[in-house]
Amino acid sequence: MLMTKLKSREAIASLASGKVFIINCFGCKEVGFPEEEAKALQKELAEAGKVVGVLTTDYICNPDELALRLRGPMAQISEADAVLVFSCGVGVQTLSEVLEDKPVYACCDTIELPGFQGVTPLEYDCGQCGECFLNLTGGICPITACSKSLVNGPCGGTSHNGKCEVCPDMDCGWERIIERLKAQGRLDVLKCPTQLHDFNTDEATKAAKESE
Ligand code: SF4
Ligand code: SF4
């Protein structure tokens, strides 16, 4: 089981500086979702004239199904400056890959809960870190795509062919992030102050502290 919680109202408002298309994934039984809160916030964005369309569906982590469901609203998505996604981190990563040229923003943080994690054959991985970085990394998770889970840039160990120094068979996650941001003309987002992951938000860390 995973849980998602909405990012702050201010954070979501800043992601909707232009016109947005909204994608909700409310259907997965393995993910707890703050549906009512999300609907209220989306109503405010619509009333402010920001929303060009909404798609509410399930299992957006399945790339084949997702491609089919995006066929209908693709014209509206093209009109939007960005796509706001209300789902767990896996759904946002899947969409970022399918809509590679478009900024795709996570509106939720994904939190770990113990127990059954679902049966969907997932293409992308979310470490359920509790503080989603995908909006700064072109929709590629730095926690799972980088062997060292670095959140503030590459370690310098990338080999010349773009492979990771820890796992030579794996593409360096940070090379992928930089290439994705370059292609979207958004490399500037990495100029933000040093990102540090607050491990206090991790459920495992909280549980360890409580047991001390
Ligand atoms: S940064 Fe990665 S691990 Fe953290 S919530 Fe986002 S997708 Fe999940
Ligand atoms: S080479 Fe790339 S993926 Fe590997 S640890 Fe360094 S930054 Fe992370």
pLDDT digits (tens, 9 = 90+) for 7-62: 999 999 999 999 999 999 876 655 677 888 999 999 999 999 999 999 998 888 88
What percent of the chain lies above the pLDDT cut of 70? 81
What is the residue with the minimal CA distance to atom 5 of ligand 1? 132
CATH 3.40.50 intervals, the chain: 1-133
Q: Which ligand is nearest to the CA of 7?
A: 1
Distance from residue 162's CA to the centre of ligand 1 (Å): 22
Dihedral (CA of 143, 60, 63, 22) sign: negative
Report for 112-121, 158-167, 180-189: range of highest mean pLDDT: 180-189
Q: Which residues contact 168 (CB under 8 A, 6 or more apart)?
A: 159
Q: Give the residue among 86, 90, 79, 127 at the shortest CA–CA distance from 105.
A: 86
Is the pLDDT assigned to residue 165 strictly greater than 80? yes
Cβ proximity of 104 and 95 under 8 Å: yes
Map tokens 């992928």 to a residue.
176
Give the model's pLDDT for residue 116.
Answer: 55
What is the residue with the minimal CA distance to atom 4 of ligand 2? 164
DSSP H or E run through 106: strand 104-106
CATH assignment, 1-133 = 3.40.50
What are the structure tokens assigned to 201, written together?
Answer: 């938000």
What are the structure tokens assigned to 25, written together?
Answer: 């994934």
pLDDT digits (tens, 9 = 90+) for 187-206: 998 887 666 677 666 655 56
pTM of the model: 0.86
Give the model's pLDDT for residue 200.
Answer: 67
